[in-house]
Amino acid sequence: MSSLEDLSEEEKRKKPMLKKRFYRSQSDLSNDESSGRFKEREFQEGAAFLDAPVSRRTFLKLMGATAALAGASGCSFNFRKPVQTIYPYAKRSEYDVADQSLYFATSMALGEDVVGVLAKSYEGRPIKIEGNPSHSQSLGATGIFQQSSLLDLYDPDRQKNVSYLGKYRSKEDFSAWLKGVSTEHFATQGEGLCILTEAQTSPTFYRLMKRFQLKFPKAKVFSYEPINNDNRLRGIYSVTGRWYQPDYFYDKARLIVSLDSDFLGLESGSLLATKRFANGRDPEKTQNKLSRMYVCEPQLTVTGSKADHRLAIKGLRVEYFLYVLVAKLLDARVVTLPSTLVKQVRRLAFSYEKEVDIDFLRALVEDILKYRKQVLFVAGPRQPEQVHALLYLLNKQLSSRTLHRYRSHAYQQFSFVTESNVTSIRNFAAHLKTGVVDTFLCLGGDPVYQAPSDVDVVGALKFVKNKVHVTLHENDTSTHCDWVVPRSHYLESWGDLKASDGSSSVVQPVIRPLYDSLSDNECMSLLVSSYSDGYRLLRATWRQFSNKQWRSCLHNGVLSVPSSDEWGVSFSDRGCLKALSKVKLFKRNQYMEIGFVSSFLYDGRFSNNGWLQELPDSISKLTWDNAALIGVETASKFSLKSGDVVTLRVKDRDIDIPVFVLPGHVSDSITLSLGYGRRVAGRVGERKGFDVYPMIRTDDFYFAEKATLIKTGDVYPFASTQEHGSMEDRPFYRQANLSHYIKHPEFAKEMVEVENLQSLWKEREFTDGNQWGMVIDLARCTGCSVCTIACQAENNIPIVGKEEVLNGREMHWIRVDRYFEGEGESATAVHQPVACLHCETAPCEQVCPVAATVHGEEGTNDMVYNRCVGTRYCADNCPAKVRRFNYFDYHQRNPQAQSKDRVHFFDYLKEPDPTIQLQFNPNVTVRMRGVMEKCSFCIQRIMKGKSDAGNDQRDILDGEVQTACQQACPAEAISFGNILDKNSEVFKKKDLHRDYHILNELHLKARVSYSASITNPNSHLAHKKESAAHG
């Protein structure tokens, strides 16, 4: 009956016949006992699961059942997975090894900010952006805009083809038309030709612009960016006579005084600033010689939350504070200013002196005297020119040359560059209204949406015959133009960019243009000669490189590094004096001011970017909306609470917008963030939030004064990811000031008494191999939130939309917790990124009924999506609440999702847009609804590292595997590696005194630990604050 026995009988019969001429192994030859067993069995041990041999009856039964089931499955209609054609990857591009990613160095510009990046390309499609370590403005880090720019590339709502009056036209039609226009205008020397461009930093663009201006000397060029550094540039110009751009070394300063500057947040150059600042605040790197920071600002920013002392002050009062400060410094004889200037400053200081928080000022002056030559002053771009001018003078006298350097603006010979943006847009509209312009070319931007409300761009455009808008997305301006031309994304075009420090970097395409688009440079080439592709234009600019040098430039992404520093040698007080004399004397009033700030959507250009829309604001934790941010005092004065809609009115302008009450916001002040409430933006960003541009006027561009606020009675729901701002005295974020830390180095560990906890069962030991662990350094972390978005890009994390954020179902694997400290306008905040803690005794693993979350050999807490049935028990039992559940299939619920060509039961009707599908990381599962997910320590990167190391037959090097959050972090706050390797970065971090685990008392044995934050407050001020708190 048994086939196995039959076989072994046959084997036995055969044996003598073969006479052992052939043998299977050495043991077979020596007639070893085990080999006998091995040979006799056709199926080896473990090969079969059924103990009893299959009988004929069973076989027939099973076959019958199988056939019946197979038949039954055919009965259903449309129940099978849809068939999808895959295209063979037969034609491979050079260097491309299947399943290996390639990195291309390119760079991205945002306003005048240039950041070199590496685009990770997988099978010809960019899937991730990393920082370029060779680029001076990145040094390996990226910001939220760089990370999320990838989604813009694949945005299915992009302008896809050239259209003329809404009708399809080919790119050739447009080229031919523009050529004609160009020829026409050549005769009139460009009379009637007008260009409005976004800020340009490309050497090639300016090379072409030079030719353009030569060819069309009468043509007008304007440049407009609503978010700009005009005041800083012009302020320094007023005293030096040169167009200098400053570069501050926050790491070398011992005292940083920030006047309304969010240099760690959304201001240009924040990546480098964050890195430098974090280095200056690192207790180990500085050997406990931390820098100290004073911040004066109206609304709480990430910079303000990192300050040792923060003064909430109305934005328009910041300059008066400076006058008082300068007056004090003059008294102390540490600065010398021309006597005319001294007189003017004292006059201005006198009017405000009584308003200033005297303790704050006294401590600040004391510290300035203490840290002479190591003081750095920085002011925000919203502050007027005279502030920047004065700060230039202060910096020159109070800090050494190593703390700051100045570089001449690379394109200062172009008047449209040095002209302020406000003037530029005003003149632009006025120029159009003269009626001389018949052809207008708008390179990017959206002046109709972004222009100040007193500049009537729509009206001005009516005077123009031919209007061309070269744009990534259709927006308000394109609806008013006849020609709408798709603009190439930086990841699909050739170009070059020059950063503010003078270094040039290459922009190279990582994918063939998805649509029939043109880059700015290509447009310029059409105007000045004939169409030339981006590469030829670029190569012509950098003709000096040999092909070999050129290849290395493309490899590194850097074309030129900044040459020697320029140092302003002389200055005149005349400019500053002129500016100061215009300053109105301070009048004691309680006028409400409105300040305008940039947001995670920048000036609105990222409004169709779901990742940025859903990224919680660093301070308010708002998603999908902006709000009128007001302080607690203002809220109680007008009896408002978050969500109450108010009518804001300044002179003749008004908007309806809900307020959001935020601790740390100064009273009698409202902050409005730009970029929301777009009427034409695409399916994601349209009508999200509130358009605040109508409140901006050319004369109050950064701040508006004398605002009134009327409660309308309506209530608006806000989707905030963190409703509870208090830490409830629970020691999650641990912080101490420097003197306490020096006295009690183990303070962070001592904050929680942990008994000798024991597990119920024998705990697993993790003593060999790679044991992954992470440390997040809270002294370095600024709360910029780039980790969240880098993780989202790496791990195919869907956006869920405002409704679902309101339901509390956001999917971010790493969140940045924000806790407020203090009350009212003097409140400040701390930031703590929290991802899965990867506990060795993980509570989630114990309770999962199907073993869908299990522990890896290398100490990672792994999710098995295929096994997960979605009981959510793990999430309930997770003390850090880091697990995220797919309550719906969010990829299909995305507004940009499209219908499937075939329906599958339980698999819905929709799928992500084909272009969005290109963005997905192929090494990470795209999760369906009903499964749990969470931080995996970027397990796909660990696997890649292990595979690479295995191929080279070596161990993984420290730093070889970087998690996405770690790689992006500009503050280098995240360390990751093998905790058993004593030389690893992460081991050293875990070995620090200030290392601590959150929720250690639950015996989690978490692999993620934190380094406690160390602050460095002025002892007098800290003492005073403490006694006030206790009194």
Partner 1 sequence: MGDTSVNYDLQRHPLVEGGPDLKTVSDVISQPVEVKPPTWWLISIVGSISILTLLLSMVGYLVWEGVGVWGLNNPVGWGFAIVNFVFWVGIGHAGTLISAILFLFRQKWRTSINRFAEAMTIFAVICAGLFPGIHIGRVWVAYYLFPIPNSMWLWPNFKSPLLWDVFAVSTYFTVSLLFWFVGLVPDLAMLRDRSTTKIRKVLYGIFALGWRGANRHWQHYERSYLLLAALATPLVLSVHSIVSFDFAVSQLPGWHTTIFPPYFVAGAIFSGFAMVVTLMVIARELFGLKHIMTLHHLECMNKIILATGMMVGYAYAMEFFMAWYSGNEYEAFAFVNRAFGPYYWAYWIMVSCNVLSPQFFWFKKLRRSIPFMFVISIFVNIGMWFERFVITVTSLHRDFMPSSWGYYKPTFVDVCTFIGSFGLFFTLFLLFLKFLPMIAVFEIKGVMPQANPHAHDGEGHVKN
Q: How many residues bind partner 1 (CB under 8 A)?
A: 55
Q: Which of 342, 365, 903, 1002: binder of partner 1 (CB under 8 A)?
A: 1002
Of the candidate spans 19-27, 651-659, 883-891, 949-957, the one that interacts with partner 1 by CB under 8 A turns out to be 883-891
Q: What span, in angstroms and rounded, lies between the C-alpha atoms of 941 and 975?
A: 15
Closest separation between CB of residue 869 and partner 1, Å?
A: 5
- Which residues, including other chains, have CB under 8 Å from residue 894's CB and lie 6 or more apart? 610, 798, 799, 801, 912, 916
Q: How many CB atoms lie within 10 A of CB 747?
A: 18
Q: Is 999 an interacting residue with respect to partner 1 (CB under 8 A)?
A: yes
Pick the closer one to partner 1 by CB: 689 or 843. 843
Phi/psi class of residue 989: alpha, beta or left (left: φ > 0; alpha: ψ in -120 to 50)? Answer: alpha
Q: Which of 930, 992, 1000, 1024: binder of partner 1 (CB under 8 A)?
A: 930
249 — phi, psi (to 5°)? -100, 90
Q: What span, in angstroms and rounded, lies between the C-alpha atoms of 828 and 351?
A: 28
Q: Is 369 an interacting residue with respect to partner 1 (CB under 8 A)?
A: no
**Would you give the binding string for partner 1 spanning residues 799-838, x where CB under 8 A is met?**
-----x--xxxx----x-xxx------------x-x----
Q: Which of 849, 951, 953, 1027: binder of partner 1 (CB under 8 A)?
A: 849
Q: Is 914 an interacting residue with respect to partner 1 (CB under 8 A)?
A: no
Pick the closer one to partner 1 by CB: 154 or 819. 819
Q: Is 899 an interacting residue with respect to partner 1 (CB under 8 A)?
A: no
The β-bridge partners of 749 are: none
Closest separation between CB of residue 888 and partner 1, Å?
A: 4
Q: Is 925 an interacting residue with respect to partner 1 (CB under 8 A)?
A: no
Phi/psi class of residue 798: alpha, beta or left (left: φ > 0; alpha: ψ in -120 to 50)? Answer: beta
Q: Which tokens hold the place of 256? A: 């940083």
Coil, strand, or helix at residue 296? strand
Q: How many CB atoms lie within 10 A of CB 976?
A: 28
Pick the closer one to partner 1 by CB: 404 or 815. 815
Q: Which tokens hold the place of 685? A: 């960003």
Pick the closer one to partner 1 by CB: 469 or 934. 934
Binding residues among 703-742 for partner 1 as defined by CB under 8 A: 722-724, 726-728, 730, 732
Is residue 401 within 8 Å of 429, Cβ to Cβ?
no
Q: How far is CA 833 from CA 145, 776, 818, 847, 900, in A?
A: 19, 8, 9, 26, 37
- Which residues, including other chains, have CB under 8 Å from residue 180's CB and lie 6 or more apart? none
Q: Is 889 an interacting residue with respect to partner 1 (CB under 8 A)?
A: yes
Q: What span, in angstroms and rounded, lies between the C-alpha atoms of 548 and 414?
A: 33
Q: What span, in angstroms and rounded, lies between the C-alpha atoms of 585 and 579?
A: 13
Longest dimension (CA), the chain: 118
Q: Is 867 an interacting residue with respect to partner 1 (CB under 8 A)?
A: yes
Angle, vertex CA 695, rays to CA 691 and CA 700, nearest 5: 140
Closest separation between CB of residue 857 and partner 1, Å?
A: 18
Q: Is 617 an interacting residue with respect to partner 1 (CB under 8 A)?
A: no
Q: Which of 140, 192, 843, 859: binder of partner 1 (CB under 8 A)?
A: 843
Q: What span, in angstroms and rounded, lies between the C-alpha atoms of 816 and 302?
A: 12
Q: Is 904 an interacting residue with respect to partner 1 (CB under 8 A)?
A: no
Q: What span, in angstroms and rounded, lies between the C-alpha atoms of 948 and 1026?
A: 54
Closest separation between CB of residue 720 and partner 1, Å?
A: 11
Q: Is 872 an interacting residue with respect to partner 1 (CB under 8 A)?
A: yes
Q: What span, in angstroms and rounded, lies between the C-alpha atoms of 236 and 248?
A: 14
Pick the closer one to partner 1 by CB: 488 or 886. 886
- Which residues, including other chains, have CB under 8 Å from residue 760's CB and lie 6 or more apart? none
Q: Is 69 an interacting residue with respect to partner 1 (CB under 8 A)?
A: no
Q: Is 65 an interacting residue with respect to partner 1 (CB under 8 A)?
A: no
In 3D space, the residue among 3, 668, 72 whose CA is nearest the CA of residue 312 turns out to be: 668
Closest separation between CB of residue 933 and partner 1, Å?
A: 11
Of the candidate spans 120-128, 372-380, 468-476, 874-882, the one that interacts with partner 1 by CB under 8 A turns out to be 874-882
Residue 856 burial (10 A CB sphere; 0-12, 13-18, 19+): middle
Is residue 526 within 8 Å of 182, Cβ to Cβ?
yes
Q: Is 12 an interacting residue with respect to partner 1 (CB under 8 A)?
A: no
Closest separation between CB of residue 880 and partner 1, Å?
A: 6
Q: Is 340 an interacting residue with respect to partner 1 (CB under 8 A)?
A: no
Of the candidate spans 477-485, 501-509, 896-904, 924-932, the one that interacts with partner 1 by CB under 8 A turns out to be 924-932
Is residue 296 within 8 Å of 259, Cβ to Cβ?
yes
Q: Is 501 an interacting residue with respect to partner 1 (CB under 8 A)?
A: no
Whole-number CA gyration radius for the chain: 32
Pick the closer one to partner 1 by CB: 909 or 1028. 909
Of the candidate spans 159-167, 534-542, 868-876, 1010-1018, the one that interacts with partner 1 by CB under 8 A turns out to be 868-876
Is residue 195 within 8 Å of 219, Cβ to Cβ?
yes
Q: Is 869 an interacting residue with respect to partner 1 (CB under 8 A)?
A: yes
**Would you give the binding string for partner 1 spanning residues 750-789, x where CB under 8 A is met?**
----------------------------------------
Is residue 675 within 8 Å of 626, Cβ to Cβ?
yes
Pick the closer one to partner 1 by CB: 73 or 647. 73
107 — phi, psi (to 5°)? -150, 155
Closest separation between CB of residue 751 and partner 1, Å?
A: 12
Closest separation between CB of residue 862 and partner 1, Å?
A: 14
Q: Is 895 an interacting residue with respect to partner 1 (CB under 8 A)?
A: no
Q: Which of 22, 77, 95, 906: binder of partner 1 (CB under 8 A)?
A: 906
Chain residues that interact with partner 1, rule: CB under 8 A: 49, 722-724, 726-728, 730, 732, 804, 807-810, 815, 817-819, 832, 834, 843, 845-851, 867-873, 875-877, 879-881, 884-889, 906, 928-932, 999, 1002
